[in-house]
Amino acid sequence: MENPYFRVQQEITARKVEELGYSSLKLVYDDDPNKESDLIDHCITQKAVAIILNPAGAGASVFAIQRAKEAGIPGFLIDRQINQEGVAVSQIIADNDMGVTLVAEYFADLMGKQGKYIELTSRDTDLLAQPRSDGFHSVLDKIPDLELIAQQTANWSAIEPYDTV
């Protein structure tokens, strides 16, 4: 798991699950919906008590989570949501509007409110990709001396952007 945010999210979740008396199985699907689906099938065959998941995609994850639900395994989604209600028990998502605004303001301050920057986006399949980008632009586009010179996907990778810069 190369993304430190997701790694910490997974570690904290596993620690809490174990504090509650359950064992945890930490799996990594590399934001690949097909691998995620295979891992959910593995959890079903292992008769998991529950699945706590940061879903791969708004639409791509629905059917795998539905299969778990039909097998009697509740799904709890964190950080990202799916675009169908009633499949997961809960969808706990971040306040991206506030978070994006705070990060964009902090970024602008670090830049001294001037200079050129590149925007790295998440995958287009991520339901929050465009709202996050729009949120950044709602702050940064109002600062005349900050200039966006390029935009590219980082595919939720901390390494991939370095290969293309």
Question: From first to last of its 165 residues, what are the pLDDT tens digits of the chain?
Answer: 667 778 898 999 999 999 999 999 999 988 789 999 999 999 999 999 999 999 988 888 999 999 999 999 999 999 888 989 999 999 988 777 888 999 999 999 999 999 999 998 877 766 677 888 899 999 999 999 999 999 888 876 767 777 765
Quick one: 9 and 55 in the same domain? yes
Of 42, 69, 93, which marks where a domain is finished? 93
**What is the extent of the structural domain holding 11?**
4-93
Quick one: 47 and 112 in the same domain? no
- Give the three-class secondary structure for 33: helix
Residue 139 belongs to domain with CATH number? 3.40.50.2300
Quick one: 120 and 84 in the same domain? no
The structural domain count of the chain equals: 2
Whether the Cβ atoms of residue 148 and residue 117 lie closer than 8 Å to each other: yes
Task: Tell me what pLDDT residue 165 has.
Answer: 54
What phi and psi values does residue 25 have, to the nearest 5 degrees?
Answer: -120, 115
pTM of structure: 0.70
Of 78, 93, 108, which marks where a domain is finished? 93
Of 50, 67, 93, which marks where a domain is finished? 93
Quick one: 125 and 153 in the same domain? yes
Quick one: 86 and 158 in the same domain? no
Quick one: 31 and 104 in the same domain? no
Task: Tell me what pLDDT residue 122 has.
Answer: 79
Indicate the residue type of 113. K
Whether the Cβ atoms of residue 43 and residue 18 lie closer than 8 Å to each other: no
Quick one: 42 and 69 in the same domain? yes
Q: How far apart, in whole angstroms, are the C-alpha atoms of residue 145 and residue 153?
A: 24
Quick one: 100 and 75 in the same domain? no
Whether the Cβ atoms of residue 153 and residue 120 lie closer than 8 Å to each other: yes
Quick one: 89 and 105 in the same domain? no
Task: Tell me what pLDDT residue 81 has.
Answer: 84
Whether the Cβ atoms of residue 90 and residue 77 lie closer than 8 Å to each other: yes
Task: Tell me what pLDDT residue 61 has.
Answer: 93
Strand intervals (E) in 11-156: 51-53, 75-79, 90-93, 115-121, 146-153
Quick one: 87 and 108 in the same domain? no
Quick one: 106 and 45 in the same domain? no
| List of residues 6+ apart from 107 with CB closer than 8 A | 117, 136, 140
Quick one: 9 and 77 in the same domain? yes
